[in-house]
Amino acid sequence: MTIQNPTRPAVSPAGGSLSPRARFRRRSAISDLLVVIAWVSGPVAASLYLASGGLADVKDMGSFFTALGIVTGLIGTDFILLMLVLAARVPLIDRAVGHDRAIGLHRQLGKPALYLILAHAALLLIGYGMSSGFNPIAEIGPMLALPDMITAVVGTALLIAVVVTSLVAVRRKFPYEFWHVIHLLSYAAVLFALPHQLSIGGTLADGTVQRVYWIGLYVLAIGAIVIFRIAVPLFKSWAHDIRVQQVQWISPDVASIHLTGRDLRALGAGGGQFLIWRFWSAGTWWHSHPISLSALPTDRHARITVRVLGRGTRRLTAVKPGTRVSFAGPYGIFTDAARTSPKLAIVAAGIGITPARALLEGSQLARGEATVLVRSSTDDETFLWSEMRKLAEARGAELFAMVGPRARNSWMSQHDAARGVTLRSVFPDLDRSDLYVCGPQRWAEAVVADARAAGLPEHQIHLESFEL
């Protein structure tokens, strides 16, 4: 063990020696490759059918609908497996595109996947119906008599439940736990659908390459979930043995939770990353919370800072010292690793100060490389600002504060908006800067919109928003 210097923790070794530009090129190459693999997996699914000689069976309208039904089923299932991989928090994906973008795509795919599966059922009923001269409704009975169809229907019903409860309008009506439990059923839905894919139809028949590929996809998706959502977090939680040390109130509704554990530096958490925490006390164990580190971990100590927003976070701040904490992560690319440009610009508001502070702490900076703007509506909201000031001083960064009620149609204070402050006047080197924005969602989006309007390219904008 060497001597620890708590104010200058080791910077993550990955890509440390590369320039931001080179790191960015590598990261975007990986990201593009992942995007291509994700989208091409759909056509590959359709190709499985083509390669089995399926087109030769298309002779009339009935067989045409049947073929279309098979293809929609294949692509729909491919999308669902893709969604599992995206939700599995695979480190490679998280490092390349970030957890929030992965989950964003996961959400976007939900409805199309469901529609494809429903179309699969409907088209096959129509296709079979036309081929045998019956109407599609009359096909429902015989179709259910096919092997493994009952489980497939149950799987579809579960899928409908999962997607419907995830629609924004519906999701708001129920507590998080209800949505979460229903969402877990998607694993069952995926597994229930598998037998009928393998036993009915020729595309995935026994002994074909298609069958091997398809089972491989399933193994990949389920394996990713089991390893990265279950096994790795369980092991890490056990190995690092994190417990609550104390809860410290730093403003009327914001508390820092100090944690102790074993070898926490080995978590490899970069400044600005978050972990998904679960506190094992009576009132909190059933709910996990994604919370940013508000300081880089040292060997024995880590710190998170939370704002009390509802019952869940209220209970969180009431945990007793010694409470066991399990976690998954760290996740996110609101970090030094996502840098693309020579200069660093940070804008943070409210609780968004937490990852911004850790980011500043975790960045290797030349004097004058970074500029920080902290924003709050009232003096009550200036928690962690003193730490930010000290850090900025130590890192040779310039720090601006902007306090006061928000101006109309702006993310700035009334006072500063009126005297003509702009993003460019705060960050004169904006074009050569990476802009990191962190704060309440609406506000953060306003800053990003302003940056886009100023002509800042997309890859230089880094957003971490907190839903309020």
The contact set with other proteins (CB under 8 A) reads 28, 31-32, 35-36, 39-40, 42-44, 46-60, 62-63, 66, 127-128, 131-132, 139, 141-143, 145-147, 199-202, 205-206, 458-459
CA-to-CA dists, residue 411 to 87, 307, 382, 452, angstroms: 32, 20, 17, 14
Nearer to other proteins, 10 or 140 (CB): 140
Spatial neighbors of 318 by CB under 8 A, at least 6 apart, are: 247, 283
Residue 109 or 182: the one with the smaller Cβ distance to other proteins is 109
Nearest approach in angstroms of CB 66 to other proteins is 6
What is the spatial order of strands in the sheet that 461-466 belongs to? 398-403, 370-376, 343-349, 433-440, 461-466
Say if residue 173 is exposed, middle or buried (CB neighbours under 10 Å; 0-12, 13-18, 19+).
exposed
Closer of 55 and 230 to other proteins (Cβ) = 55
Please say which residue, 146 or 394, places its beta carbon nearer to other proteins. 146
Smallest separation (angstroms) from other proteins to the CB of 424: 25
In whole angstroms, the minimum distance from the beta carbon of 146 to other proteins comes to 4
Nearer to other proteins by Cβ, of 46 and 220: the residue is 46
Query: What single string gives the DSSP state of each residue in 377-427?
Result: SSGGG-TTHHHHHHHHHHHT-EEEEEESPBPTTSSSBHHHHHTT--HHHH-
Nearer to other proteins, 202 or 428 (CB): 202
Closest contact distance (angstroms) between CB of 268 and other proteins is: 26
- Report in angstroms how near the CB of residue 215 gets to other proteins at its nearest: 17
Q: What is the C-alpha to C-alpha distance for residues 162 and 277, in angstroms, rounded to an integer?
A: 24
- Cβ proximity to other proteins: between 200 and 438 the closer is 200
Least distance from other proteins to the Cβ atom of residue 199, Å: 7
Helix count (H) and strand count (E) of the chain?
16, 11
Closest of 73, 82, 88 to residue 41, by C-alpha: 82
Q: Can you name the residues that pair with 465 across neighbouring β-strands? A: 439
CA distance 356 to 337: 14
Among 312, 327, 308, CA closest to 244: 327
Residue 205: CB minimum distance to other proteins, A: 7
d(CA 102, CA 297): 26
